[in-house]
């Protein structure tokens, strides 16, 4: 068989395709994959690349596999360090499609959502991958599928992916009544309830001994991002009286106490390695900057309570780590990197940090309008915001990379350090 010599850019491109195919078949990508480099090297559509891959299978892909296996360009962890599963909880920042199965207005299972995602629109509220998608890639796991996509199957059998599940639900929050005006969503308590059912009724059938199950859960990675909606759709919403009933300090305490209860439940169910994200600069999202009068670039009377909550959450997580034996809670501090990217977009490869890329309802302040992909911005990943609430894949990648192996986002341990414990 004669070998075809390819330019370096095309090699990265085909390596990227190989990883996409692995994920598409439900398997994890290579531990040493170079996903971002490969994606940048591909200048035609995914469908066309798949056709091209088929055409060159016999002359290129087989010899290329040798190159791929030897390649070592990645932020990823080694196979020995990979956690057995990734379990995800939270809101639309992490939702991978649970709201598709709920009666709610808050859905993202239509274009232009998923414009840059290999599977198209899946229910992710952005143009591509989320923070937890990148973390899954970095640790060598497949994306955690939405729990509700398995719920009916689990009524009849114990079949479920042992590599993790995603329970996150858009518009919901820490408090049970947050987000209810838009329809049904899964509050954090409901998400933990579903996880409890999995741990008590479904997972034991996959392990011969209780110790094996406990070991599996203790080595798994748990990621949580929740609380933004408790401010956006509750405390800061002029249609509610929450801000009249609670001072900013009292509301932050209410949220952190409620969050602490659910995190303790996860610990009691077997979780030991947890990354819990605080709030981003929610006073800077178009939903707020367009609707409210403000003197600076952001609405500071919304950002200040977010910082207050973050400070309390960080202390709460420190306390949990010191009081719950064998636990390690890391605080995901995306606020400052998010604010810096907003104020200095060019430093993060962005050209616009004030407007939504897609055409949204209500003058750029809400979700994308279905079917208007052609009117979206030309370069989504040059935009900070995808819609009126959510970042583009570019910012998610930045946060995830820093959380995985940096020292300023996920503290005191980044994900790479956490999974090595």
Q: Would you please indicate which residues are annotated as catalytic (active-site) residues?
A: 92, 387, 390
Question: Is the dihedral angle over the CA atoms 258, 259, 262, 268 positive or is it negative?
Answer: negative
């Amino acid at each position: 068989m004669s070998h075809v010599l390819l330019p370096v850019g095309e090699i990265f491109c085909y390596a990227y395709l190989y990883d996409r195919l692995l994920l598409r078949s439900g398997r994890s990508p290579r531990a040493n994959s170079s996903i971002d480099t490969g994606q940048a090297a591909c200048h035609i559509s995914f469908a066309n690349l798949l056709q091209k891959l088929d055409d060159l299978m016999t002359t290129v892909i087989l010899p290329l596999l040798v190159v791929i296996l030897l390649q070592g360009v990645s932020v990823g962890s080694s196979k020995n360090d990979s956690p057995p599963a990734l379990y995800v909880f939270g809101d639309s920042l992490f939702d991978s499609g649970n709201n598709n199965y709920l009666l709610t207005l808050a859905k993202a299972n239509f274009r232009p959502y998923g414009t840059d995602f290999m599977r198209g629109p899946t229910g992710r509220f952005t143009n591509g991958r989320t923070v937890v998608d990148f973390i899954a890639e970095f640790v060598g796991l497949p994306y955690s599928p939405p729990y509700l996509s398995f719920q009916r199957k689990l009524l009849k059998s114990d079949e479920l992916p042992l590599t993790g599940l995603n329970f996150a639900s858009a518009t919901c929050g820490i408090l049970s009544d947050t987000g209810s005006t838009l329809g049904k969503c899964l509050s954090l308590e409901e998400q933990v309830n579903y996880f409890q059912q999995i741990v008590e009724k479904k997972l034991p059938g996959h392990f011969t001994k209780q110790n094996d199950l406990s070991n599996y859960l203790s080595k798994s990675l748990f990621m949580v991002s929740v609380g933004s909606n408790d401010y956006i759709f509750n405390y800061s919403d002029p249609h509610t009286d929450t801000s009249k009933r609670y001072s900013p300090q009292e509301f932050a305490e209410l949220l952190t106490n409620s969050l602490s209860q659910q995190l303790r439940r996860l610990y009691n169910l077997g979780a030991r390695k947890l990354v819990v994200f605080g709030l981003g600069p929610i006073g800077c999202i178009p939903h707020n900057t367009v609707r409210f009068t403000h003197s600076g670039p952001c609405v500071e009377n919304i950002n200040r309570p977010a910082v207050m909550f973050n400070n309390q959450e960080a202390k709460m997580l420190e306390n949990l780590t010191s009081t719950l034996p064998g636990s390690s809670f890391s605080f995901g501090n995306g606020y400052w990197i998010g604010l810096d990217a907003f104020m200095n977009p060019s430093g993060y490869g962005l050209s616009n940090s004030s407007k939504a890329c897609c055409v949204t309802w209500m003058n750029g302040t809400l979700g994308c309008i279905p079917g208007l992909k052609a009117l979206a911005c030309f370069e989504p990943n040059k935009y900070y915001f995808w819609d009126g609430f959510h970042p583009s894949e570019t910012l998610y990648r930045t946060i995830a990379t820093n959380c995985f192996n940096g020292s300023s986002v996920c503290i005191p341990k980044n994900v790479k350090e956490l999974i090595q414990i």
